[in-house]
Structure 1
């Protein structure tokens, strides 16, 4: 269930008698409902403990599990104390995802980052081996524009190279498969493909950044025109039916390209994603006390969010995350964790 549904039930029954345990996942997001729910549960847990200790009670204590892959533990341990005043148990579970190699851009485009993302997706699709591509942008308008542009470009390229274009299908494009003998993508530096997760020690100056053709690029593969890609969108305003298209099985040899907002950071796992393109932005609610007006502004994400996005590429196999910002911007301008939503109101 959603945190909003549980909040509604807590208003009717603070002890949550229907439940023996509550698991609160992705707590690091610190949205308003989650923080309010945590505050209520901080009162519910000791109340349930005392109710369970009453003579003749059949109500068990309430067990609470707060989970996240990027949780800042100290934000939560002070809320919950045991009967003896001790803090809650903290369990660290090693991740089981595949290694993801992170590549930072040499330069950071401050305004036209959507265009940079578009070019990056085109080059990944043209040069790198099969695997889904997940692109993170900030909102519906950016996502829709990117999807429209990708479908138009890929459909035109497919019609030119393959010589076929079935009906009015605008979601296909050729994949030019280029790898080294050992299976490593040609335009990734060898010293970056080292198997370590989230390697961000230096900027990635790989050839994907170059606008001009590189003489070392892999030659076009004539058979690649048989391997199309499908471009899809994903954001919260879509209907359930439209969102489900991003998860639907594709025909063999098709590449999945999903352009999404931060809904794809943690809430969902898209199949077969091998490449993530991260613009490094999201929309945040900003309240201006002087005017009493709130607005949604584009801002940098946090380091925790950046790690969550990169992790999307390592769910089903080793992957790569292409960050459209430099390591200097990441180190100096990204906060460690997102600001709790309650502080923006």
Structure 2
């Protein structure tokens, strides 16, 4: 049966599909197509002739075997191969070849896309928003002819996404789905803030400054802990930039979201005090290093600043440090300490008075004992 294999191979080669892969897929597809024809043999194979541009279906029939004493139900043997190519199989073969090519082209394209984006995981990409009326919960972002998905869970509360708007997104996952590569991007991931700063701060790329931790409530506030790896470098100043230019450039990509940059420290008490910025922490008491719990003591005038609106500042500080942080009034704490000191002093005075009173009690006891041993008075006897 004729089939223009030379043209098929040329089309496949243009898409980067090798001839061996094409032939394997084509022979299997033709075999399956033959098996669906009337009176098709149970055992068959397809042979391609690239030079002649033809293919042949070679079939084999089953030959029943006589039972023997050793084998009462012998398996049938296969007879010699014979050409069983259907006469009217040309149209089916052509349609089958087109289907195989389309599948291989789609698979090759999926591999290309997957390969291109697999290396972009946890990086920033820029795309154009494409709204899909059939998928209102998700935002579709076109990136170089490919659509990435910005799902509801990765969107920033209150952020609007307009059709045709250019947007920077963070690549969360790249996976193979049922319909090809699935690229999930985010606008709420803390990694987005990290990558935006890396675009603006050369010291981060050179290693002079490191971002040690990020805590983010997307659309509201982000806290970043930084440290210097080189002498003479101000890590907070590096991220802020001259006149605040660098941090301002990042914030332009985040809308109304605020950014706090604090100093990281290996000492938990210092890190906790820094994380509660902009409040000034007077003292941090480590309650349990094992359970990572601590109490920060802050003046009454700074308490609301340390806690933040609806507890946001304290919550972000806890996320940033990984510690459970209790916030208490410094004045109340100091008053408690003074009260405890006064109580301890009073207990000490009582304890000192007790030994002094003991000899007097002993003396009274001795006098009473002497009177009892003297017996009744002489006047009593005369009477």
- Give the TM-score normalised by structure 1: 0.16
More helix by share: 2
- Give the TM-score normalised by structure 2: 0.15
Larger RCO (CA under 8 A, 6+ residues apart):
1
More strand by share: 2
